[in-house]
Structure 1
Amino acid sequence: MAPAPTRTRQWLPYTAAVTAGLLVIAGTFAFVRQRDAGGRPRADCTISLEVNSSTEKAALLVELAERYNGSGRSLDGGGCARVHVSALTSGKAAEELAAGWGGTGLPKPQVWLPTSSLWTGQLRRLDQAAGRAPQTPDRYPSIANSPLVIAMPQPKGDLVRQRGPLGWGEILGLSGRAGWADFGKPEWGRFTFGKDNPNLSTSGLAATIATYYAAVNRSSDLTRSDLANPAVTQFVRRIEANVSHYSDDVVDLLRDLAEADLVGRGSSRDDMSAIVMQEELVYLYNEGRLSPRQDGQEQGRRPSVPLVAVHPREGTFNLDHPFVVLPSADERQRAAAADFLAFLTDDVQQESFARLGFRNHERRASAQLLASVGTEPTGGLTYFEPPDPQVVEAMLGGWSTLRKKANILIVLDTSGSMEAAVGNRTRLQVASAAAGKGLALLNAEDRVGLWSFSSETPQRPTGPYREEVRLGDFDQKRINSRTAALRAGGGTALYATVRAAHQYVLDRYDPQRINAVVVLTDGKNEYSRDNDLARLLADVELDPRRPVKVFCIAFDRESDFATLDRIAKASSGKAFDATDPARIDEAFVKLVSSF
């Protein structure tokens, strides 16, 4: 991602990496997909219209473009257009448009379809900072909508709804340590929730904005002075204190929840009572679209325990999927864009959006959607207005001081295979450098420790793992120094080390922090003294009362990713696939964004 020529911080997903100076990984978060829209072109279709869509709706837009190209539509004045769709995350597209669209390898678009008008505001800010005419000066029509909701397993959601209309603070700040006991359900334990990191996700950013609006009890005109108000920051801090952990992609959380539901565990073994996300994902989850699929099935089984959408009293943020015609469009392309917009907002195409859980372009929900996710409040939803882009910039700049802090033990594989070459460096050198870059994104108030592990060696004669830096106040300089001094040798005592590291953090559990073990390994368990995977999975299984989650990075193709994934899931953590060593930087940044 090319940084803007200003000192102000850019947002989402590239934001975190660029702000920390991780230029080497700046483009790695973009999920780029380009497919020919297909259709049989007519001879008079001489107008080409390039459309760039956000990734979550790109497959549908490709399908609709194909339908448009084969529809036989004609433009006023004669001729017809052929639409081609490519895909890029909204944040990456905004920055590429600001930089002249030279680094994607994709056709320069005349129409942009981001997830939210937050992005048109961000692009306008970048243009203004560069002293050029803004590319997105207006408000734009929507092709679909999806409000932000608090999704909860149905028994919990129904119980919360019985209390009547509750606000963001009353739900997400639910009762502090008393948790569900205040609702007559002490067996449900503490209330914690999941949300996407606002530096990585549009919905995570929208959730953060929504809590600020709730704090000031307004639905528009959020100001910088509001952000500095101690009462406002305390409100936001109280909500963030109940976060289980931050996600780089809420869909992964939902897939894990669906898998647990399939085998009968449901949400009872997880520590999360709710997830803040867009309404469409609640629908897709409940319809089985995010459940494990059997061969030949288009979707999985519907979950036994569906989610319900709880709507906070103050209102919510809407992801409005604007249709943006860019200045790069000439007169005929503008006519084609207007015709394509009319096509997308026609009832037939709107039904296609509805089948994916979207509300229509006028924010109306289908009966099928409401039957799946739950009815909305009497009188409909209240929507927050997008804040000024400068206010959002300041909000993200201050969020790191308000987010929940972490208690993290980094466990680094130093077995002999880490001496293998990756280019002109060893695996250990590559992994150590990636760890240093990723840890640069942590907060100074986080607590971090470092272990190394392999098996017993002359340098480590008494056991397979060793404490390099004691878990305590984050001292990145010391951690970097210790990782640089590590030497590879021995086998891979994966199970024994994960078990011991998990117990170590559990013994030092801090209820005010996210407690986690981060394991980086390039191999599989090679330690005959401890090769019982079933016992390890039982030992690290999440205790919702004292959750310690294991996050794993599978480094290089020799890693046993499937086993690391099982270990992570047992603890409600996550495994990151860096079996291609080129992805190690990306994996570390995504992992660190969970804290």
Structure 2
Amino acid sequence: MNSKIRGAGVIAATLVLAVVAAGSWFALRGLTGASCSGEVPLALAAAPEIAPAIQAAADEWMSTGAAVDGTCVKVVVEASDSVDVAAAVAGKHGASLSGVGQASGTATTPDVWVPDSSTWLVRLTSGGAAAFDPGNGASVARSPVVVAMPEPVATGLGWPEETPSWSDLLQGITKGTKLRAGIVDPTRDAAGLSALLALTSAAAQSAGGNVQSATTGALRALATGRSALREDLVAKFPRSSDASTVAQALSMAPLSEEDVIAYNAKKPPIPLAALYLTPEPVALDYPYAVLPGLDPVKNSAAKGLFDRLGTDAFKDRLAAQGLRAADGSWGGGFSAPQGAPSPSAGAPQPMASDGPDKGGVDPKVLEQVVTGWSITTQSGRMLAVIDVSGSMNQQVPEANGATRAEVTAAAARRGLALFDDSWALGLWIFSTKLDGNRDYRELVGIGPLSAQRSELERALPQVRPKDGSRTGLYDTVLAAYKEVQNGWEPGRVNSIVLFTDGQNEDDPGGLTRAKLLSELERLKDDERPIQLVFIGIGADVNEGELKSMVKSSGGTGGVFITQDPTDIGDILLRAISMRGTPGS
């Protein structure tokens, strides 16, 4: 069976593979009379569609005496969704992955990981896992990302003689009504993310002067047909050949070539066409990632197994699973979809093996697309609080002399454009003695964007530093926390995002640090969490001070520090795309 296994299917597949592996290992050792002794356990987690091929290769290797320095190697392959392993690795290395959330309490990290895409490795590194530096990383298989369409829909667009462009599809889903697009949440699915990169690139190229508006339109159009699970998405394709059913069902979705092969193998009433668009989106490349911290013996075992994954026999095993070899060629029995690029036609190579960031995916662009998606597809309630102390008047040479306050307001305006009307937002400013004896002033109270978007846009120019004022941070944080808590709403991320370029300064009559932390501890409510996020600008920010507030407030949120104020736009998008990730 070629189809990808999800949910309970993954658990069942894992148990079967583990039992088969254990039984095979003991039986094969007995039959071959291997001269090795002892045991080197090697735990490998692989995307469900490639796990059977890797387990078969491992069994063959063990049957011929797999050993390291005379010690027998025992390989156990676990079929694991890439997003689940990514969550476990992120938790272990302190990374934040937008949309992924926390790993389950039973999740463990393997010795070797073969996710479906190197984009997972890029996201982990750019998400804060600085110490995450897996070895090897070479591709062991490949599956192009295609646009899957019911054949009657594809035929109506000229397929197979003609293939629409990304711009054509973008126009169809944002301007027309005939194409019903779907996507698996790109924050949790590599094929969806690959297609999202291609579509947002097409949007930017066709946008003229308004790139952000076009990109946001594309994200929102796709978001209306999103699914959390692959199996839920493909279930939306037509199950009957009558014209009415076809017209009302899902008419296009980015999937892997392997997904289309697996779907059509079940002989559905209407097969799927695989459209290979150009420029080709980033393929699923199945990197062989040896996770950090392995001892030399396990490292040698991992290398021994890897050597078995480059053989012709392994290529044939991949073909049986609907997968290509790493170079884009395929083995015997591969059921290529109509229009599939031939291996002899120079199929694009997978991502390079000398590091996931060498394969043509810019980590910064990847992060922007992921965070943009997260923001446009979630509903939140947020209070933005901006520092207007005297130091925020400092000019930023990289921003053509704009002040820190002006750069911050511009970043807030950029973020505002991404939020749809389901959001609720408010805006405060703070320094010292800004409103009588109060260190903060409300410019716009927290309310629905549907009613006050224009008011917020008009308020942003009022973010002007107060000459000679200082940073009344503690009183402001407590007041903002109480404000968000008093209006807390279920079903949303209730958050505070505070921008500052300093630390709390002497403020006669104001809170002490100890008193603030004590109050946050007293007020926090695990049933009504508040995400406290700080964006610090420059060298005068006290990171430890900010982290202590996040911790005392319940640990939901984070601290982001940059020396370059021009970075805060991207940092803001990343910060508000967080979904209850524990702060560090």
Separation in structure 1 between the aligned mates of residue 452 and residue 161 of structure 2, nearest angstrom: 42
SS at match of 1:140: strand
SS at match of 1:161: coil
1:195 maps to: 183
Q: 2:82 aligns with which of 77, 90, 93?
A: 90
Going from structure 1 to structure 2, the CA distance change for 1:481 and 1:198 (only over 3 Å counts) comes to closer
Cα offsets for 1:358-395 (capped at 9, x unmatched) = 11122224585464343338945557845333432232
- Output aligned runs, 1:196-345, within 5 Å: 196-215=184-203, 231-240=210-219, 242-243=221-222, 244-257=224-237, 260-261=239-240, 268-288=246-266, 302-345=267-310
Separation in structure 2 between the aligned mates of residue 160 and residue 403 of structure 1, nearest angstrom: 32
Cα offsets for 1:30-67 (capped at 9, x unmatched) = 96645342213336252211112234444554455444
Is the CA contact (8 Å cut-off) linking 2:144 and 2:256 kept in structure 1?
Answer: yes
Is the CA contact (8 Å cut-off) linking 1:117 and 1:386 kept in structure 2?
Answer: no
Separation in structure 2 between the aligned mates of residue 367 and residue 173 of structure 1, nearest angstrom: 39
Is the CA contact (8 Å cut-off) linking 2:173 and 2:180 kept in structure 1?
Answer: no
Deviation for aligned residue 1:266: 8.7
Cα offsets for 1:319-375 (capped at 9, x unmatched) = 111111123222222222122112233222322221221111222245854643433
Separation in structure 2 between the aligned mates of residue 202 and residue 482 of structure 1, nearest angstrom: 30
Separation in structure 1 between the aligned mates of residue 210 and residue 122 of structure 2, nearest angstrom: 27
Going from structure 1 to structure 2, the CA distance change for 1:275 and 1:239 (only over 3 Å counts) comes to same
Q: 2:142 aligns with which of 138, 145, 149?
A: 145
SS at match of 1:336: helix
Deviation for aligned residue 1:210: 2.1
Q: Which amino acid aligns with 2:215?
A: V
Is the CA contact (8 Å cut-off) linking 2:160 and 2:339 kept in structure 1?
Answer: no
Is the CA contact (8 Å cut-off) linking 2:88 and 2:109 kept in structure 1?
Answer: no
Q: Which amino acid aligns with 2:73?
A: A
Question: Are 1:52 and 2:49 counterparts?
Answer: no
1:121 maps to: 122
Is the CA contact (8 Å cut-off) linking 2:53 and 2:314 kept in structure 1?
Answer: no
Aligned-residue Cα RMSD (Å) equals: 4.6
Q: Which amino acid aligns with 1:281?
A: D
Q: State the TM-score, normalized to the length of structure 2.
A: 0.52
2:477 maps to: none
Separation in structure 1 between the aligned mates of residue 128 and residue 38 of structure 2, nearest angstrom: 33
Going from structure 1 to structure 2, the CA distance change for 1:77 and 1:155 (only over 3 Å counts) comes to same
Cα offsets for 1:405-447 (capped at 9, x unmatched) = 99xxxxxxxxxxxxxxxxxxxxxxxxxxxxxxxxxxxx95255
SS at match of 1:83: strand
Going from structure 1 to structure 2, the CA distance change for 1:175 and 1:160 (only over 3 Å counts) comes to farther
- Output aligned runs, 1:426-441, within 5 Å: none
Separation in structure 1 between the aligned mates of residue 124 and residue 234 of structure 2, nearest angstrom: 31
SS at match of 1:376: coil
Separation in structure 1 between the aligned mates of residue 307 and residue 277 of structure 2, nearest angstrom: 33
Is the CA contact (8 Å cut-off) linking 1:168 and 1:214 kept in structure 2?
Answer: yes
Question: Are 1:111 and 2:137 counterparts?
Answer: no
Q: Which amino acid aligns with 2:252?
A: A
Q: Which has the larger radius of gyration?
A: 2
Separation in structure 2 between the aligned mates of residue 271 and residue 477 of structure 1, nearest angstrom: 42
Q: Which amino acid aligns with 2:172?
A: L
1:171 maps to: 169
Q: Which amino acid aligns with 2:81?
A: T
1:155 maps to: 152
Q: Which amino acid aligns with 1:144?
A: A
Cα offsets for 1:233-263 (capped at 9, x unmatched) = 34434544543511112322323537x24x8
SS at match of 1:268: helix
Going from structure 1 to structure 2, the CA distance change for 1:447 and 1:251 (only over 3 Å counts) comes to same
Separation in structure 1 between the aligned mates of residue 9 and residue 452 of structure 2, nearest angstrom: 30
Separation in structure 2 between the aligned mates of residue 266 and residue 287 of structure 1, nearest angstrom: 24
1:40 maps to: 25
Separation in structure 2 between the aligned mates of residue 245 and residue 474 of structure 1, nearest angstrom: 28
Separation in structure 2 between the aligned mates of residue 90 and residue 339 of structure 1, nearest angstrom: 23
Q: Which amino acid aligns with 1:285?
A: Y
Separation in structure 2 between the aligned mates of residue 350 and residue 388 of structure 1, nearest angstrom: 30
Going from structure 1 to structure 2, the CA distance change for 1:234 and 1:144 (only over 3 Å counts) comes to same
1:291 maps to: none
2:361 maps to: 387
2:413 maps to: none
Is the CA contact (8 Å cut-off) linking 1:143 and 1:322 kept in structure 2?
Answer: yes
Separation in structure 1 between the aligned mates of residue 262 and residue 129 of structure 2, nearest angstrom: 39
Is the CA contact (8 Å cut-off) linking 1:143 and 1:344 kept in structure 2?
Answer: yes
- Output aligned runs, 1:445-464, within 5 Å: 445-446=420-421
Q: Which runs of 5+ in 1 are unaligned?
A: 1-27, 180-188, 218-225, 289-301, 407-442, 449-469, 484-588, 590-595
SS at match of 1:51: strand
Q: 1:135 aligns with which of 133, 136, 143?
A: 133
Q: Which amino acid aligns with 1:46?
A: E
Is the CA contact (8 Å cut-off) linking 1:283 and 1:369 kept in structure 2?
Answer: no
Is the CA contact (8 Å cut-off) linking 2:315 and 2:330 kept in structure 1?
Answer: no
Q: State the TM-score, normalized to the length of structure 1.
A: 0.52
Separation in structure 2 between the aligned mates of residue 172 and residue 366 of structure 1, nearest angstrom: 35
Is the CA contact (8 Å cut-off) linking 2:274 and 2:337 kept in structure 1?
Answer: no
Q: Which amino acid aligns with 1:210?
A: A
Is the CA contact (8 Å cut-off) linking 1:54 and 1:114 kept in structure 2?
Answer: yes
Moved more, 379-388 or 113-122: 379-388
Moved more, 342-351 or 113-122: 342-351
Separation in structure 2 between the aligned mates of residue 128 and residue 106 of structure 1, nearest angstrom: 18
Is the CA contact (8 Å cut-off) linking 1:31 and 1:89 kept in structure 2?
Answer: yes
Moved more, 144-153 or 335-344: 335-344
Q: Which amino acid aligns with 1:89?
A: D
Deviation for aligned residue 1:206: 1.7
Separation in structure 2 between the aligned mates of residue 473 and residue 387 of structure 1, nearest angstrom: 39
Separation in structure 1 between the aligned mates of residue 268 and residue 490 of structure 2, nearest angstrom: 47
1:396 maps to: 370
Question: Are 1:360 and 2:325 counterparts?
Answer: yes
Is the CA contact (8 Å cut-off) linking 1:31 and 1:55 kept in structure 2?
Answer: yes
Separation in structure 1 between the aligned mates of residue 348 and residue 203 of structure 2, nearest angstrom: 15
Is the CA contact (8 Å cut-off) linking 1:280 and 1:357 kept in structure 2?
Answer: yes
Is the CA contact (8 Å cut-off) linking 1:150 and 1:311 kept in structure 2?
Answer: yes
